[in-house]
Amino acid sequence: MSYFKGKTVIVTGASSGIGEATAKDFLSKGAKVILVSRSESKMRDSFKNFNQDLLSIYPFDLTNLHDIDSFVKTLIEKEGPIDILFNNAGVSQFGYFEKSDLAVLNKIMELNFFSVVQFTKSILPHMIDKKSGQIVTNTSVAGLVGSRNRSFYSSAKFALHGFFDSLRSEIIQHNVHVTLIAPGRVATDIGINALTESGQPYGRDDRGHQKGLTSPEAAKRILNAIKSKKREAVIAKWNDIAWLAVYIRKFFPSFYFFLARRIVA
């Protein structure tokens, strides 16, 4: 029997990319999946061939921070106990700090950090009451190493690592686990949908994402990490520069910063 059979999972950012692929893998393993994304039409189209008894679709904009608490309460009331939350929704950004509008940083932090913290805050009492649960968050390798052109994006992702590393120690006594997922290059539209210095969509796929793992491959590795209750998992091909960056940054920091001045992520 699948580890995930009978579990109820929330996946945010479920209409495309890693969120869509991971939700489909959960469903294939018998989990009940609550899909959350701004686009109801995309979710309905993407999941039309799956068992509709095992999925629920909830269109919601996570940047409406003040509405998250009531939204989470509605999910619990309608769907019952939640076993796993996968905080996946997010947006990337390419732009040098000196040229970037700080309003773009606010947008990045609002979705990538504050909405995750609020969703976690809203669902945590429920998991503590039932004395079990797992909070999984997509933090990106950009949350482990910084690089040129990514100061805003890395800021939000580093913040997630600091927040969840602290939270993990506070809630483990309640049998609630924290797993951080740090993808490297995955073939999604994250580059196309990224924001520029001015906040406009980047609109091009020229950052090497298509050379990375496919979304279904990434999803399988993510579910393995969740099943194993890993504290942190880098999700990338063995030859992805992400692995190299993480280890060089840790063991040879001077060399890492030498390379970082020359490589644009």
Catalytic residues: 153
Distance from C-alpha of 145 to C-alpha of 101, rounded to nearest angstrom: 22
Distance from C-alpha of 165 to C-alpha of 135, rounded to nearest angstrom: 12
Distance from C-alpha of 72 to C-alpha of 50, rounded to nearest angstrom: 24
Number of H helices, E strands in the chain: 10, 7
Q: Which of 199, 212, 179 is nearest to 88 (CA)?
A: 179
Q: Is 65 exposed, middle or buried (0-12, 13-18, 19+ CB in 10 A)?
A: middle
Q: Which tokens in the block code for residue 44?
A: 């309905």
Collapsed DSSP state (helix, strand, coil) of residue 18: helix
93 phi and psi, to 5 degrees? -155, 135
Long-range contacts of 43-50 (CB under 8 A, 24+ apart): 43/14, 43/15, 46/15, 46/16, 46/20, 47/23, 50/24
What is residue 189's DSSP assignment? S
Whether the CB-CB separation of 92 and 104 falls below 8 Å is answered with no
Written as one letter, the residue type at 116 is: V
Pairing label, strands 133-138, 84-87: parallel
